[in-house]
Amino acid sequence: MKSSVIIFPGSNCDRDMDVALKKFGFKNTMVWHNDDKLPKSDLIVLPGGFSYGDYLRCGSIAGKSKIINSVIDFAKTGGLVLGICNGFQILTETGLLPGVLLQNKNIEFICKNVFVKINDKNNKYFNKINKEILELHIAHNEGNYFCTNDELKMLEDNDLVAVSYCDEKGEVNEKSNPNGALQNIAGIFNKEKNILGMMPHPERMIDKYLSGEDGSIFFKNLINNIK
Amino acid sequence: MLVNEKIAIEHGLKSDEYKKICQLLKRTPNITELGIFSAMWNEHCSYKSSRRHLKNLHTKGKKVIQGPGENAGVIDIGDDDAIVFKIESHNHPSFIEPYQGAATGVGGIMRDVFTMGARPIANLNSIHFGSPQHKKTKNLLRGVVKGIGGYGNCIGVPTIAGQTSFDESYNGNILVNAMTLGLVNKKKIFYSKAAGINKPVIYVGSKTGRDGIHGASMASAVFDDKIEEKKPTVQVGDPFTEKLLLEACLELMADDSIISIQDMGAAGLTSSSVEMASKGKLGIELNLNKVPCREEKMNPYEIMLSESQERMLIVLENGKEEKAKKIFDKWDLDFAIIGKTTNSKKIELYFDDKKVCDIPVDFLAENAPVYDRKWKKIKLPQSIKFKKQDFKALKIEDCLKKLLSHPNICDKQWIWDQYDHTVMGDTIQKPGGDSGVVRIHGTSKAVAASVDSSALYCFAHPLSGGKQIVCESWRNLISVGSEPIAITNCLNFGNPEKEKNMGEFVECVQGISEASKYLDFPVVSGNVSFYNETKDKGIKPTPSIGGVGIIKDYKNMISMGLKNSGNIVLVIGKTIGHLEQSIFAREILSEKKGPPPEINLFNEKNNGLTVLKMINENLVESCHDISLGGILVAISKMCIKSKKGFKLNQLKGLVNKFEYFFGEDQARYLIEISKENLPKVDKILKQNSVHYDELGSVIDKNIELSDEIKLSIDDLEKNYKNWLRRYMLN
């Protein structure tokens, strides 16, 4: 299985993602933002970081970069596009996903482990995953998901809220919401569910000596679903 | 503008220093030249008060590749890998503008590290604030934490450990010390020494603006009421540009294009060019019209003294200009050939076709003044005899709770939650432990790092205090199972022109030197920050020590959380019950006098190496060094970390429980071992003549001080964890 990770100036989780993808069997290529063509891929990843310094708005300049047109074309033909953290912000800026990521409610950067509940398994990312709750890691300043009432209705009616912040037992409540996100939304799909944007970083949880191992479950499952 | 003595004094030079400049030049300097002299001869750049004492530091060791004098120190960690590291202060700017001051402090120290060819892999910091009740403290703390996070998080380097303290002596002068570790192949280390004549001198990075002019001079003066007016001398950081600069420099460093490289830190283009020329015994000629400027009509004086951030000066091999330019173009960074190396041994600057500076390099570097300042020896304070009735009304459990919620002991998670501590995917010990630990990517090795200071001990008796911090750093590294290798020091002191402050400096340095020599724990880099004084009130002497250790197989790393019920915990090292200068004495008994705990370097080394031996033989399940607050605070933290309980043995022959539980005797550790391993452990400890007590055993819940007194871990956790968060929310 082939994957590509896009490097924008200011990306800083590109290497971590490369390490994770390779560890679970992807043949990964790093792609520079100024290239105009994507290599043949089964999965495109927009990694975390501070693309273009997050100037103007998080992800906004990356959303207009040269490579992004190829990413949009790829996504529109059903290709799998995964955006993590800044990658999620970029996806909302391109319009591939609805809504925006606002500054965290407590106006502080947050770096910690959180639990997310998987809401929908009828997609390539979570199909057959043998867990309902994942412990993942967040590290962001703008992860507070927000959208219009119509958009929220559309997301909910079509089962497009991929993952929601919850507690250890799976309760989705205000206490388990780290950043003020609408309805505890941690990640969403597009209508066709080939695009997933989420704030948590599965690539930081891929061996037992790190913060945890639930990222491994995510990647193993993903590659099995693509095969 | 004609230069005279008055203008020289306004530049922070002393009258006789100005006379010396005129004598050396055999003429009056022009304003640009005066600016350059003032920048190079100030305390911050010239180390004129500290230099003769720093020579006494212990700086050599088998694993030292580069000691003090370069951008950072370098140690060998085997298999061609080397760690580049340094700690540096950014105190003065952070007090004036906490966010930018702290952010550019982090940016500056990371540049020092990647200038040497190393990719930064971990950041640490040591930050000190005034009394929590002081009106400025909360905002300064908030701003500094945001600044450190804002810069480090954006670059994508994990912040893995730190230290925060509060003391009224920092009310008018907070301390912000930032430390970075980088990883480099030991055959590909870059130095600042220029070599070869007619080699192109390249400017890369951000454009030059008017920010930070005289920043280094500001850092060499005491503060007064008009301090807020100095805001324009604080630099403004742009971590995004630094990230690009980091990637571009590392890309260029992959081959052999670079002869020498130096970041433009304090005193900007002035100190970077002088340093390169001075080390290479060469001259440098620059055309200042070629320097990329972001403001209009900047004059040579401003260009040379600007401390705009994210800039580097490089001497390239001839013919490599095009290739280098391509890399910097790719990363959208400025690239300009601004001059060349010469054999004149002078700094010669041109602007609008006129020569605006002509100074022999030696005048700026080697001939810079060196002072033998007067200093006062500080005697060991007399011991205090505590009486039985001092303790009569006290309950152990109340004292423990009070200490756990003390600002200098309590949990600092509110701070480190705001630092990205997991990016790069190799952080195996997060902040909050004895040391932070990151793996060397793709290998079985890991590095541990810790930063420590003990201003109260240093204030009471600088010589003991200096030794103590080195020992504490050593213990923190051993407690995670790493072999301590070397240290970096950030020497924060008051006004060196005062005999008492200078004495504190001299004797702390002596203490650091003695301990690091005895422990074979050399100093490889560091900096000095004097004049931490506002309106005649100086800080307590606060040297910070950043220690680095190596773990050969990261799977053997140790953490402080208790592991298994039924295990026993030993106190390694002798407990006498030294209460003077302890946090217990200050907070509970309101006694601030007396000597700090005695440092016995033999015991320190012997106990530490013995604990490390037991860790390496897989006998130890958890470990924590005993420091501030003593045994009971230490075991409580181990319980809180893992939500385990602990039952204390009833210790026989104990004269005074308070002294035993809260004394801050040195060279001690708590280790958790299984019962089956006790005979083996006992044998090793006896063979090495290490004293130990059996403190008690791990249970499922509660700390049981006796059959009657049981403290719930949740309750203790609240005391430990709530103070800072509540303080910041209110």
Structure confidence by residue, pLDDT tens digits, B504-536: 999 999 999 999 999 999 999 999 999 999 888
* Rg of chain A on CA atoms, in Å: 16
Domains by residue range for chain A, with CATH: 2-226 (3.40.50.880)
- Mean pLDDT within B620-647: 97
3-class DSSP string for A61-117: CHHHCCCHHHHHHHHHCCCEEEEECHHHHHHHHHCCCCCEEECCCCCCCEEEEEEEE
pLDDT in tens, chain A (227 residues): 999 999 999 999 999 999 999 999 999 999 999 998 999 999 999 999 999 999 989 999 999 999 999 999 999 999 999 999 999 999 999 999 999 999 999 999 999 999 999 999 999 999 999 999 999 999 999 999 999 999 999 999 999 999 999 999 999 999 999 999 999 999 999 999 999 999 999 999 999 998 789 999 999 999 999 98
Residue B201 pLDDT exceeds 70: yes
A56 has a chain B CB within 8 A of its CB = no
Residue B230 pLDDT exceeds 90: no
A33: Cα within 13 Å, side-chain hemisphere: 21
Residue with tokens 């809180």: B640
Contacts of B28 (CB under 8 A, 6+ apart): B2, B3, B4, B22
Express each pLDDT in B252-289 by its tens digit: 999 889 999 999 988 899 999 999 999 999 999 999 99
What residues pair up with B492 in beta bridges, in sequence order? B529, B542
Instruction: Measure A110 CA to nearest chain B CA, in Å.
Output: 5
Instruction: Measure A163 CA to nearest chain B CA, in Å.
Output: 21
Instruction: Measure A178 CA to nearest chain B CA, in Å.
Output: 12
B52: Cα within 13 Å, side-chain hemisphere: 11
Q: Which residues in chain B have Cβ-Cβ distances shorter than 8 Å to A22?
A: none
What was the pLDDT predicted at B730? Answer: 81
Dihedral of alpha carbons A164, A165, A169, A173, sign = negative
What was the pLDDT predicted at A17? Answer: 98
Q: Which residues in chain A have Cβ-Cβ distances shorter than 8 Å to B155?
A: 12
Amino acid present at A147: C
Distances (CA, A) of A135 to A165, B426, B491: 10, 18, 42
What was the pLDDT predicted at B148? Answer: 97
Reference B469, options B292, B604, B564; nearest CA is: B604
Rounded to whole angstroms, how far apart are CA atoms A47 and A7? 8
Instruction: Tell me, rounded to whole angstroms, the distance of Cα B616 from its chain centroid.
Output: 28
* Phi, psi for residue B511 in degrees, rounded to 5: -65, -45
Minimal-distance CA residue of chain A relative to B427? A210
- Whether residue A209 and residue B421 make contact (CB cut-off 8 A), yes or no, is no
Q: Which residues in chain B have Cβ-Cβ distances shorter than 8 Å to A109?
A: 146, 149-150, 153, 417-420
Express each pLDDT in B643-664 by its tens digit: 999 999 987 777 789 999 999 9
Rounded to whole angstroms, how far apart are CA atoms B429 and B440? 13
- Whether residue B554 and residue A209 make contact (CB cut-off 8 A), yes or no, is yes
Rounded to whole angstroms, how far apart are CA atoms B361 and B366? 8
A20 has a chain B CB within 8 A of its CB = yes
Tokens of B389: 């009735």
Reference B236, options B151, B164, B120; nearest CA is: B151
Contacts of B642 (CB under 8 A, 6+ apart): B561, B562, B563, B622
Helix, strand or coil, per DSSP, at residue A176: helix
B699 has a chain A CB within 8 A of its CB = no
What was the pLDDT predicted at B236? Answer: 85
Query: How many degrees, rounded to 5, is the angle at CA B579 between CA B575 and CA B585?
Result: 150
Can you give the length of chain A in residues?
227
* Phi, psi for residue B287 in degrees, rounded to 5: -105, 105
What was the pLDDT predicted at B229? Answer: 64
CB of A63 closer than 8 Å to CB of A47: no
Tokens of B714: 């949740």
What was the pLDDT predicted at B231? Answer: 62
What residues pair up with B538 in beta bridges, in sequence order? B533
For residue B606, the surrounding DSSP H or E stretch is helix B601-616
Rounded to whole angstroms, how far apart are CA atoms B519 and B532? 30
DSSP tally for chain B: helices H, then strands E = 26, 28
CB of B666 closer than 8 Å to CB of B597: yes
Rounded to whole angstroms, how far apart are CA atoms B646 and B631? 13
Please identify among residues 140-169 of chain A the ones whose CB lies closer than 8 Å to any CB of chain B.
141
Residues of A annotated catalytic, as ranges:
85, 201, 203
A12 closest CB neighbour out of B155, B330, B430: B155
B551 has a chain A CB within 8 A of its CB = no
CB of B176 closer than 8 Å to CB of B90: yes
Sort A72 into a burial class: Cβ within 10 Å, 0-12 / 13-18 / 19+.
Answer: middle
Express each pLDDT in B100-130 by its tens digit: 999 999 999 999 999 999 999 999 999 999 9
What was the pLDDT predicted at B211? Answer: 82
pTM of the full predicted structure?
Answer: 0.95
- Whether residue B240 and residue A55 make contact (CB cut-off 8 A), yes or no, is yes
CB of A189 closer than 8 Å to CB of A109: no
B73-76 and B436-439 strand pairing: unpaired
Q: Chain A to chain B, count of Cβ pairs less than 8 Å apart? A: 88
Instruction: Tell me, rounded to whole angstroms, the distance of Cα B416 from its chain centroid.
Output: 17
- Tell me the pLDDT band of B213, cut-offs 50, 70 and 90: confident
Instruction: Measure B243 CA to nearest chain A CA, in Å.
Output: 6
Share of chain B above pLDDT 90, in %: 88
Residue B232 pLDDT exceeds 70: no
What was the pLDDT predicted at B620? Answer: 98
A78 has a chain B CB within 8 A of its CB = no
- Mean pLDDT within B478-495: 97
- Tell me the pLDDT band of B700, cut-offs 50, 70 and 90: very high
- Mean pLDDT within B351-369: 93
CB of A84 closer than 8 Å to CB of A77: no
Distances (CA, A) of B462 to A180, B56, B64, B378, B408: 49, 16, 27, 7, 20
A139 has a chain B CB within 8 A of its CB = yes
Residue B225 pLDDT exceeds 70: no
Residue B226 pLDDT exceeds 70: no
CB of B246 closer than 8 Å to CB of B206: no
Helix, strand or coil, per DSSP, at residue A196: strand
A113 has a chain B CB within 8 A of its CB = no
What was the pLDDT predicted at B580? Answer: 95
Tokens of A80: 């799998």
Average predicted confidence (pLDDT) for chain B: 94
Express each pLDDT in B46-83 by its tens digit: 899 999 999 999 999 999 999 999 999 999 999 999 99
